[in-house]
A = this chain, B = another copy of it.
Amino acid sequence: MPRGPMRQGFGFAVEAAVPGGPRAGRLATPHGTVQTPLFMPVGTLASVKGVDVGRLADTGAGVVLGNTYHLHLRPGEEVVQAAGGLAAFMGWPGATLTDSGGFQIFSLADQVQITDAGASFRSHIDGAAVRLTPEDSMRIQQSLGADIAMQLDDVVGLPAEPARVEEAMRRSLAWAERCLAAHSRPDQALFGIVQGGLDPQLRRVSAEALAGMPFDGLAVGGLSVGEGAEAMRTTLAATMPHMPVDRPRYLMGVGRPIDLIDGVAAGIDMFDCVLPTRCGRTALAFTFAGVLKMRHARLRDDLRPIEEGCPCPACRHSRSYLRHLFLAGEMLGPILVSLHNLTMYARLMQQLREAILCGAFEAVAAGLRQQIDGDAD
């Protein structure tokens, strides 16, 4: 799979695609090849919360995401680098991706000041002053050593003033150039990030500009930041025609199962989101037949698993037992339901992929949409 901009050990091939629509592919990395569409579990601090790497592999996960902002603060990239990089540090045998820190600066940091030079802010842990430029982000991500790094971007919460949205988009483009210039690690891919809020014209400008740069993939950023599902779908529809078809396309921080179906339908190849583990910790289980509130009284004597046919460790237990674990405050409840949700997300991606490969995506997606977003029985 020879590709111009692709870094050493990387490759991306589309196996089947509906023009302008869903596609199935393969992404090769130095740590193995994964199938797309792909959901990437989030291991913020080099740990997918509550899930050991053996169990994580069993969920069907292919790529694990780490957060540059968090890892820079704790334990520091030098500790991760000394251990051989993010994958070695966390004992994960597969591929990894680090985000750039842009989203966490937007969502977590205090006293944020963003200029064209970069971001200055206070750590959310101890208030220490931290500065993050595009060059800093590249240096840190190259030390963390994930297979895929992301450009630093300027992320805006929505709704926002049009001038601020445009400023952030243009600044992200300038930072994209600087990230490419600063990035030198040949065994690490680098993705650009499309910004532009809900404005189709800004999204187009951003996507076309980034498509002309030698990035190994492009992400759609700045969504799932308060705009609502319908606005996200509309923006995605306006953006995707301007995204290159020969490189992987990644929708950042999204989302619910129904959002993944929408994203795949629009031609997205990669997703990440904390929802499967965050909801797992708060007793919400995702199933193909809808969501299940694991603390609900009606589950008290329900001896069925969360989902029939699911191979995860939670589904070796009854709903009655899992409900008991949550009511009793046992940490095994969050552990097991996180494992279930990660498994469900991986199985959903697998079903969508198979549907694409056999030309049945529309029918399969329509069937899934009927139940997946409601309450499970």
Chain A residues near B (Cβ < 8 Å): 45-55, 70, 74-75, 79, 82-83, 89-91, 300-301, 303, 313, 316-318, 320-321, 323-325, 327-328, 330-332, 334-336
Contact = CB atoms under 8 A, between A and B. Distances in A.
A352 to B, nearest CB: 28
A83 B58 CA distance: 27
9 contacts: A45-B324, A46-B324, A51-B332, A52-B55, A52-B313, A74-B327, A75-B320, A79-B300, A79-B324
A183 B325 CA distance: 29
A50 B328 contact: no
A49 B335 CA distance: 10
A45 B303 contact: no
A156 B352 CA distance: 62
A52 B336 contact: yes
B49 A91 contact: no
Contact of A330 (B47, B55, B321): B47
Contacts of A52: 55, 313, 332, 335-336
Please give the count of copies of this chain that the complex contains. Answer: 2
Contacts of A74: 324, 327-328
Given A49-B332, A83-B303, 12 more contacts: A45-B330, A50-B331, A74-B327, A75-B328, A83-B321, A89-B318, A89-B321, A90-B317, A90-B321, A91-B321, A331-B335, A335-B335
Contact of A50 (B46, B324, B332): B332
Contacts of A49: 330-332
A3 to B, nearest CB: 34
A227 B199 CA distance: 73
A50 B318 CA distance: 18
A79 B320 contact: yes
Give the 7 A-B residue pairs with the shortest CB-CB distance, closest first: A75-B324, A47-B332, A47-B330, A45-B328, A50-B331, A74-B328, A91-B317
Contacts of A46: 321, 324
A300 B330 contact: no
Contacts of A75: 300, 320, 323-324, 327-328
A305 to B, nearest CB: 10
A77 to B, nearest CB: 12
Contacts of A325: 45, 47
A370 to B, nearest CB: 32
B301 A82 contact: yes
Nearest to A125: B328
A331 B331 contact: yes
Given A46-B321, A49-B332, A335-B335, A313 B54 contact: yes
Contacts of A83: 303, 318, 320-321
A83 B91 CA distance: 37
Contacts of A316: 53-54, 91
Contacts of A327: 74-75
A279 to B, nearest CB: 15
Contacts of A301: 79, 82
Q: Which of A46, A70, A324 neighbours the largest number of chain B CB atoms within 10 Å of its CB?
A: A324
A53 B321 CA distance: 13
A75 B325 CA distance: 9
Contact of A335 (B45, B50, B79): B50
A203 to B, nearest CB: 36
